[in-house]
Structure 1
């Protein structure tokens, strides 16, 4: 999604939040404070591209573990087979670098999804 589409989606979600009852809104904002992620934190973690820390931050544990393991394999190969180690590490950078440049959009999409889920949750809990 483009940044504009994400903003439009967020505005539609905010409208749904305003339409909640006061009790539902209170519960929504309590939950939102626990689940919404900061784009700047994601970007900082993404600077450690090869470690995959940004995947853990958004709860994508499986991809984070894979990224971390591949990085460790690359580091293990580095002293013994430098070419293989460098190829592995460069491969990780090539795969992960686009996420650094799209970090704002990635977190915005994640947060919109969290908002959508929380709206559904507070509506169904109070139904």
Structure 2
């Protein structure tokens, strides 16, 4: 989703939030503060720990575990000297898969936060 579409979606959600009554708004904003994610934290986790820790930050446990497992397996192969080429290949593969997410971190978090806002609105509205 492009940044313009994400911003339009966020504006639509903010308009819905503005129509909530005072008690619903309080409840919504308390939930929002607890749950919204920061794009800089996501990018830092991706940059510093390309092993997939940024997926854990978003609650994507399976993907985070797979990336972390591949990275650790690659490091073990390299450090033990048993399968150095395979280890380097696994580390590079993980890096290549995760690198685009670093450059798209703002959009990824914006989309995540928009989905979260929608879920919180439904929760508060009910």
Q: Is 1:92 the counterpart of 2:94 in the alignment? A: yes
Q: TM-score, normalised by structure 2?
A: 0.95
Correspondence for 2:41? 41
Higher mean alpha-carbon deviation, 101-110 vs 40-49, is at 40-49
How much is the aligned-residue C-alpha RMSD, in angstroms? Answer: 0.8
Q: TM-score, normalised by structure 1?
A: 0.95
Instruction: For residue 92 of structure 1, report the CA deviation from its aligned partner.
Output: 0.5
Aligned pairs for 1:75-114 within 5 A: 75-78=75-78, 79-114=81-116
Please give the per-residue CA displacement for 1:3-56, whole angstroms capped at 9, x wherever unaligned. Answer: 000000000000000001111000000000100000100010010353211000
Count of residues in correspondence between the two structures: 124
Structure 1 segments of 4+ aligned residues over 2 angstroms from their partners: none
> Any unmatched runs of 5+ in structure 2?
none
